[in-house]
Structure 1
Amino acid sequence: MTEERYLCATGATNLLDVPHRMGQVDLVKANGMSAHNMASHFMRLVSKPTKADMTRVYAALLYVAHKRKFVEPAAAITAAIEWMLDPSCKVCSGAGEIERKGRMHKCPKCKGEKLRREPTNRDAQYLIDHVNDCRRALSGRVRKLMR
């Protein structure tokens, strides 16, 4: 819900800041408080992927990787972005079930969870968790501003 409201606010033509009511400009302001704007970069990449958005996300993750002194940052970043953009199971296409002999069965790969496993690379797992933390933090700040 918050991400949808933010995306609508970024496309708004009127970002007038009215002090006595919460408007779309307040969502954009809250986004600016995000650490390195990771949440906004990721939301843009998911909603309307462009080469510039991919570059922004890659650069933000590269900053985190260098800060944490990852051994192979490029491989970890690539694995993390690839999983975040399409976390659904490849066998059942995210349905959780597959059809065999006319009957529906639980997917043997994801066991009905509809998601594939996160990358085994610890650095990639850290980056995925970091992006999810940034998204949660952004949602919390926006909710606080909306009160």
Structure 2
Amino acid sequence: MKRLSMLLAAGLVAAVALVGCASAPTQTPAQIAANICPGVQSEIDVLQKSGVFTGGAQATLTNQIQPDVDAVCAAGAALTVTTVDIRKLVQATFPIVVAVIANSSLTDQQKLQATLAVGVVVTGINTALSLQPATSTTTPGPALTPASGAIAS
């Protein structure tokens, strides 16, 4: 758990540093993955070693969580990782991890620390995603000119 506390402290320092920036740099999905994967993988490793993933939780880790983590963090994944992969990691995986923590045999203090660590990772990922430039999903129509029927003033 000492390692978990250290991860939480490091995450909080990073979050405070990010908030203090006047303008944070925009990152590609590969850069976001490179920044978040060590924390994500370390958090899951700590939870596994603490005995959180036992019985049905181990099946959840293997069948639901690990595929999403691997899509973003496996060796070579950074070359093909997309914003969709990262969003899926946040939206589908982390709520499951938090539920596993809540239902674990950890003490209340350990549950709080683990949940806070996950929250810091999620906040960092969401911040990085929100700083990406907006992509347009629609194609603008042609500009109207007097020849196309618009009324000139």
Common fold by TM > 0.5? no
| RCO comparison, higher one (Cα < 8 Å, 6+) | 2
Q: Which has the larger radius of gyration?
A: 2
The structure where strand makes up a greater share of residues is 1
The structure where helix makes up a greater share of residues is 2
TM-score by length of 2: 0.30
TM-score by length of 1: 0.31
